[in-house]
Amino acid sequence: MTALGKLLRTTAFKLTLVYLTVFALFAAFLLVYFAWNTRRLITEQITQTVDAEITGLAEQYRQGGIRRLVFVVDARSRRPGSSLYLVTTRAGEGLAGNVGSLSTGILETSGWTETAYRRLDDPDGPEHHALVRVFRLSAGFRLLVGRDLEERERLHDIVIAAGRWSLAVVIVLGVAGGFFVTRRVLKRVDAMTETTRQIMDGDLTGRLPVAGTGDELDRLATNLNAMLERIEALMHGLKEVSDNIAHDLKTPLTRLRNRCEEALRLAEDESQYRSALESTIEESEALIRTFNALLMIARAESGQARDGMTEFDAAEIARGVGELYEPLADEKGIHLKVEAPAAAPVHGNRELVSQALANLVDNAIKYGAAGDPPLNGAAAEILVTAAGEGDRILLAVADSGRGIPAADRGRAVERFVRLEQSRSLPGSGLGLSLASAVARLHGGELKLEDNHPGLKTVISLPRSGSAPPTA
Amino acid sequence: MRLLIIEDDRDAADYLAKAFREVGHVADLAADGEEGLAHALDGQYDVLIVDRMLPKLDGLAVIGTLRSKGIETPALILSALGQVDDRVKGLRAGGDDYLPKPYSFSELLARTEALARRRGSREETVYRVGDLELDRLSHQVTRAGDEIVLQPREFRLLEYLMKHAGQVVTRTMLLENVWDYHFDPQTNVIDVHISRLRSKIDKGFTQALLHTVRGAGYMIRDSK
């Protein structure tokens, strides 16, 4: 599309044309109205003047007969001006006046008539127009009085000329104005289009230009920029997630492969092959679990899980998870207790929250007391609670173990981080990462606190009925 | 047991068929949804194993069509989509169980046999295995006439095992059916519950009823 074509198709230009047409029509209407009224006024003036003259002349005729009338008309005819007079016999012979020739049949008319005429003293000159009235006198004489319409015609010409000129000016100014205004708008839109093209080509950091005028284009640009920020953040998150997953799975996959290669190289009898295969299956199952956990984390982080949000009772979840893990804790000499007396309605993803809480309890059992005698001589304890606090519900797991030193707490939440103390224990290192992602999905966060002694992990969730998170 | 396996992946289908046949079951194959539907409508199968993503007609549609024609053959859905919502969708479409890929064959076998059994049995009120009795109405458990006191959860665990007496019950099956959880507990949480139950019902008796099936799960069985 040519530049001109683009310009002509813009809304701005079309609007300009519409306004132009409306304005022109309005101006034309005004002009016509004014002209028509003025014409009427002039005509009225003429008729009044002529009427007065006729009345006067008729009086003269009555008083002095035709002689008198001729005398007066003659005198008046010599006066310069646009008044016309003519006195004729019944046969049409002129007796006095300043009219030379008339349109045919005028003398037979009555009432007001417009006629072409020539002046008596200028018989070869141009024809003029006049508004005349013919008066029949007694004995068949005719008296014609009229006035030249030159004024009115001049007005007519002026109006026509004015109309033509103003139309021309309006069109030129309108089109030119529309052109420039549109070009300015088009420039801004083109700048935006260019930016979006850059963005689509891959430069997610691009933002639309905001002119600072606060008009609708600016508002659009501002909103689109906000959207682009969000997209950039999501893309970044996605890249991070897929980078992490790729990286995190390569290690166990490589380990698996190496195991198999080693078996091929070294195994000699069936039992060795068998055990190699069995451990391969075990490894791949661990890998699958890790993969599923990573997927779950990715799901929680990408906001995909928002569709699966329902209303459920966090206290019920706490009780269920507690009950599931209680025997395991007991076996390790840990007393697991659940304190969730009141209902804790939550709006969230039930599956993810259950998994997150299970991870926290699992961690507490694994690291909360493993291998350490309790510090104050009492039995090791794990406390699972679900309680409301303002518009949030807090799900917490508190143990009485070694805890995590404050310096390490940030790192502990990252994927696959196994802190020094726990390197030797089984586990994938994803438990806290998932819990953290789940907390963030619900507009909260995972907090790691000192339980004096031990660690307290807290997930904060929105209480059902309060506004949804905008994370 | 007569099985119909509707799976478009050639390798996976052959593997499953062979594995099932080795255990003594009859397995027919169908490579797409339309073929599968046709077979299911004609043949008398005990369980249908249906892959969710199929050419021509997808798994859920196949099951839906069968159900609308009043065919109640139990169907187990296999799917790469493993989220809870996908599972719910599958069960709502008429499926009876849902197993995300990748799965272990022993898991699939255990669940398939559990589904086949379900079809045949009437709802009994008292389960019996050997001299162990469980009354579902009164919630009483006795062995050799002596009452055994169980916690509510332990009762439900035993109930489920006895409902599938003689069949393998996997840990995942227990987690889903006794606790209604669909997540991975990471550690051997279930094992501890089982060993607690075992100590209550098997301890002091010469004959153990609750067995561990290596690599698969558990089974309650009269060893005689």
Least confident of A94-108, B35-49, B95-109, B189-203: A94-108
- Pairwise CA distance, residues A338 & A319, whole Å: 6
B contacts of A427 (beta carbons < 8 Å): 186
User: For chain B, which domains are there?
Assistant: 2-120 (3.40.50.2300), 126-220 (1.10.10.10)
* pLDDT(A424) > 70: no
DSSP β-bridge partners for residue B141: B134, B148
With cut-offs at 50, 70 and 90, classify the pLDDT of residue A352: confident
* pLDDT(A419) > 80: no
- Pairwise CA distance, residues A164 & A24, whole Å: 11
For A317, the closest chain B residue by CA position comes to B181
- Pairwise CA distance, residues A219 & A211, whole Å: 10
Nearest to B222 by CA among B166, B184, B179: B166
* pLDDT(B141) > 60: yes
* pLDDT(A416) > 70: no
Determine, for residues A355 and B184 on separate chains, whether the beta-carbon distance falls below 8 Å: yes
Of A308, A351, A362, the CB nearest to B187: A362
Determine, for residues B187 and A308 on separate chains, whether the beta-carbon distance falls below 8 Å: no
Cis peptide before B152 (omega within 30 of 0): no
The answer for residues whose C-beta is within 8 angstroms of residue B190's C-beta and 6 or more apart is B171, B174, B175
- Pairwise CA distance, residues B77 & B91, whole Å: 9
* pLDDT(B31) > 90: yes
Mean pLDDT of A211-232: 85
3-state secondary structure of B220: strand
* pLDDT(A423) > 70: no
Half-sphere exposure of B168 (CA within 13 A, CB side): 18
Is any Cβ of chain B less than 8 angstroms from the Cβ of A83? no
Mean pLDDT of A87-108: 81
Every domain of chain A with CATH number 3.30.450 lies at 11-154
The dihedral over CA atoms of B129, B135, B139, B140, expressed in degrees to the nearest 10, equals: -70
For A293, the closest chain B residue by CA position comes to B184
* pLDDT(A375) > 70: no
ipTM of the predicted assembly exceeds 0.90: no
Size of interface A-B (CB pairs under 8 A): 55
| More reliable by pLDDT, A426 or A264 | A264
Percentage of chain A beyond pLDDT 90 is 7
Give residues 430 to 449 of A whose Cβ lies within 8 Å of B.
431
Is any Cβ of chain B less than 8 angstroms from the Cβ of A363? no
* pLDDT(A428) > 70: no
With cut-offs at 50, 70 and 90, classify the pLDDT of residue B120: low
Tokens of A406: 């404050």
Is any Cβ of chain B less than 8 angstroms from the Cβ of A350? yes
| More reliable by pLDDT, B46 or A252 | B46
> What residue has token string 């009043």?
B70
Determine, for residues A362 and B185 on separate chains, whether the beta-carbon distance falls below 8 Å: yes
Determine, for residues A354 and B181 on separate chains, whether the beta-carbon distance falls below 8 Å: yes
Which residue spans within A376-454 are E strands per DSSP?
Answer: 380-389, 392-399, 446-450
B contacts of A328 (beta carbons < 8 Å): 187-189, 192
End-to-end CA distance of chain A: 43
Distance from CA of B199 to the nearest CA of A (A): 13
- For A87-147, the DSSP string reads EE-TT--EEEESEEEE-TTGGG--EEEEEEEEETT-TTS--EEEEEEEEEPGGG-EEEEEE
Mean pLDDT of chain A: 82
CB–CB of B153/B197 below 8 Å? no
Q: Taking the domain A11-154, which CATH number applies?
A: 3.30.450
User: Which helix (H) or strand (E) segment is B22 a member of?
Assistant: helix B10-22
* pLDDT(A425) > 60: no
Tokens of B179: 């606790």
Q: Looking at domain A308-462, what is its CATH homologous superfamily?
A: Histidine kinase-like ATPase, C-terminal domain (3.30.565.10)
Tokens of A389: 């606090």
CB–CB of A382/A361 below 8 Å? yes
Mean pLDDT of A142-151: 86
Every domain of chain A with CATH number 3.30.565.10 lies at 308-462
pLDDT for the residue numbered B15:
94
